[in-house]
């Protein structure tokens, strides 16, 4: 989802997931109608967008272009741990940080 792209393109070291989160990635999709020429124009645009999005995932995850293409071929739901292993996030937040005592 576009949310996963925004998440992975975030500041390194600050890309978190929660233990019960699912992060879904997939290729662009769309529906078009009209004359064949118009449909072909839309298809070319979506193919161009797919390539650009894959390049962004490659840059931020460290995965190969082929690995990204394979991962995004269909809806791909990852646990937070799997997303961390894949490079989408940096860490899984297992517990809240301890509260600082009130300053008096």
Enzyme catalytic residues: 1, 26
- 52, 45 contact by CB (below 8 A): no
- 91, 14 contact by CB (below 8 A): no
How distant is the alpha carbon of residue 30 from its chain centre? Answer: 18
């Amino acid at each position: 989802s576009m949310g996963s792209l925004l998440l992975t393109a975030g500041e390194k070291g600050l890309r978190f997931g929660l233990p019960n989160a699912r992060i879904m990635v997939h290729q662009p999709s769309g529906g078009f109608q009209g004359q064949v020429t118009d449909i072909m124009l839309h298809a070319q645009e979506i193919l161009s967008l797919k390539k650009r999005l894959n390049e962004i995932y490659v840059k931020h995850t460290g995965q190969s272009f082929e690995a990204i293409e394979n991962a995004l071929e269909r809806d791909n739901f990852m646990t937070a741990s799997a997303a961390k292993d894949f490079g989408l996030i940096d860490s899984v937040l297992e517990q809240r940080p301890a509260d600082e005592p009130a300053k008096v």
